[in-house]
A and B are shown apart, each in its own frame.
Chain A
Amino acid sequence: MEYILRTNNLTKKYGKKVVLNNVNINIKKGDIYGFIGRNGAGKTTAMKLILGTSFATSGAVELFGSGDLNVQRRRIGSLIEIPSLYKNCTALENMRRFSILYGGNDNDIKNILAMVGLQDTGKKKVGKFSLGMKQRLGIAIALLGSPELLVLDEPVNGLDPAGIKEIRDIILRLNKELGITFLISSHLLDELAKVVTVYGIINNGCLIEEVPAQVLYTRCNNLKIVTDNCEKAKMLIQENFGITHIDIKNNTLFIYSDLDKSAMINKLLVNNDLNVYEVSVSASGLEEYFIERIGR
């Protein structure tokens, strides 16, 4: 398995305060890694250590399988906290300046600006851009030089719903079409859930768990079936659909995978002379799961 980014016991202390405690992040090629945690949990600090804008107290970062970080960082695009831009310059001038360091020619700049919808900003200075436009320009700059990993810290912060959708579409397109790997932090969990393939949950500087989105989805959602013979129903479902992750609680069946087969399961049970009183999908949601994991 090709890892794009791994951290080994990454720790950051400010004086006696530990803001990041032995964090081990593992991001595979093609992942959209959602980094979630409360304010001050250590998300931005971890990203800064990965990008080298801040220094780790201990631990190590490995990028693209190498410890030669400054060389490997050329393959990363980033947007940390608020977009860092030359406010007295136009979008084009900002792109031109950074293209000297990041790579990319005028044609690339034009294409990237079009991709983020900033191709028609003309002579308007970046200082007069809306927050959404600045965020998009920040992403455009991060895309210069064809990065293989994009590190985005709160990329949809302060955006309106349309702006959020635009950023989401860009992320999905870049991931699918160009195979770019993402490390994204956000407070908007439901929004993050629409793009993320792996979650990293961080709390008080500790990475609590890394979990694939599919696994988390099944943990958050289940198919609830109320029938007159739960044991028989469980056996039938296992035999016919190969579903193993089934629980029985209070004469109710809970199925944690293959939720899309509810109609077929219902038909199977009825055809086998079982009375089915209720079939419903119960979704607790990412937010509840997150709160449960980090504690209130």
Chain B
Amino acid sequence: MKNMLKFEFYKLFRTKAFYICSGIILGLILLFSYIMNEFSLINALDFTEEFIENIPVELIFAVFIGLFICDDNSNGTIKNIYAKGYSREVVYFAKYIVLFITSFVLISFYILFSFAWGNLLWGTENYDITQKDIYIIISQVIFIMERYTFCFAVSTIISRKGAAIAINIILPQLAEVLSIFIDMLLDFEEPYIYNHILRNLYNNIYNNETFLKFSLFALIYSVVFMLISFLINNRKQV
């Protein structure tokens, strides 16, 4: 496992896509701050929350994760790894851990950076951090980590860069539409499945209970995605 983790980190820091995607998000933060300044937004907290709400970080992650995870399959180098006695379980978890740490560090960094950048531009005086602000920020991290697990699972199962990226981006949107359709078919009084789509849970956080519900569903979805992709990956022949 140690060698596999070292191998994946080594590859990660030598992958251009990693720097390009990270750079794009940083660039978007800077661009967004310029736009917000034009709209005379005046405090760092609002700026951070607006950034979280408006910049689709998960889409950029969807591209990067698709590229990184499918790289060994598209080059065929996964054969070299398995043939050297590294089990599918070790390879799977090494990739998951490396990208989990990277995604967590990156999203935390972006939030802190946008907050720090906002403070630099608009000063530190005129805001109070409420519980709702903390919910918004933590739930964004949870949301991105769940989306990371989803993208990881899809990319592991599909193993082809283009298809994996497309599905990473399209499937969450499609799931929302399908959930509305199923709710209509089942003739619920109010949308049931749609309300349990993670983005909707995320959009409706306003107290402890809704935050916990959101966190629990993020965890459940993550476990399900991991379990499915793990089982499929273990049966893959290359």
**Partner-B contacts on A (CB < 8 A):** 48, 51-55, 69-74, 76, 78, 80-82, 84-89, 93, 96-98, 100-102, 141, 145, 151
Q: How many residues of B contact A (CB 8 A)?
A: 25
Check B86–A101 contact: CB distance below 8 A: yes
When A100-B6, A100-B10, A101-B3 are in contact, do A53 and B79 touch as well, CB less than 8 Å? yes
Asked if B237 lies at the interface with its beta carbon under 8 angstroms from chain A, I say: yes
Give chain B residues whose Cβ lies under 8 Å from the Cβ of A151.
Answer: 83
A221 to B76, CA, bound (A): 42
Q: Which residue of B lies closest to A151 (CB)?
A: B83
Q: Identify which of B3, B75, B87, B238 contacts A86 (C-beta below 8 A).
A: B75
* Given A82-B76, A85-B77, A97 contacting B11 (CB threshold 8 A): yes
- The answer on a CB contact under 8 Å between B85 and A80 is no
B238 touches A54 (CB 8 A): yes
Q: Is the CB of B77 within 8 A of A73?
A: no
A100 to B77, CA, bound (A): 14
Interface residues of B (CB under 8 A from A): 3-4, 6-7, 10-11, 14, 16, 71, 75-87, 235, 237-238
B6 to chain A: closest CB distance in Å?
Answer: 5
Report the Cα distance A100→B12, complex, angstroms: 14
Q: How far is the CB of A148 from chain B (nearest CB, A)?
A: 13
Output the least CB separation between B18 and chain A (Å).
13
Min Cβ gap B17→A in Å is: 10
A149 to B: closest C-beta gap in Å: 11
Q: How far is the CB of A284 from chain B (nearest CB, A)?
A: 37
A96 / chain B contacts, CB cutoff of 8 Å: 10
Contact B79 A71 (CB under 8 A): no
Tell me, rounded to whole Å, the shortest Cβ–Cβ distance linking B233 to chain A: 13
- Best-surrounded residue of B4, B16, B237 (most CB of chain A within 10 A): B237
Q: Is the CB of A76 within 8 A of B76?
A: no
In angstroms, Cα B47 to Cα A61, docked, is: 61
Q: Bound complex: CA of A121 vs CA of B3, how far in Å?
A: 27
* B238 in contact with A53 (CB, 8 Å): yes
With a 10 A CB-CB cut-off, give which of B6, B14, B85, B235 has the most chain A CB atoms.
Answer: B85
Give the CA-CA distance A89 to B10 in the complex, in Å: 13
Q: How far is the CB of A183 from chain B (nearest CB, A)?
A: 12
Measured CA separation A102–B3 after assembly (Å):
9
A78 and B82 CA atoms in complex are apart in Å by 11
A-B residue pairs in contact (CB < 8 Å), sample of 18: A51-B83, A52-B82, A53-B82, A54-B237, A73-B85, A74-B85, A76-B83, A78-B83, A84-B79, A88-B16, A97-B10, A97-B11, A97-B14, A100-B3, A101-B4, A101-B7, A102-B84, A145-B84
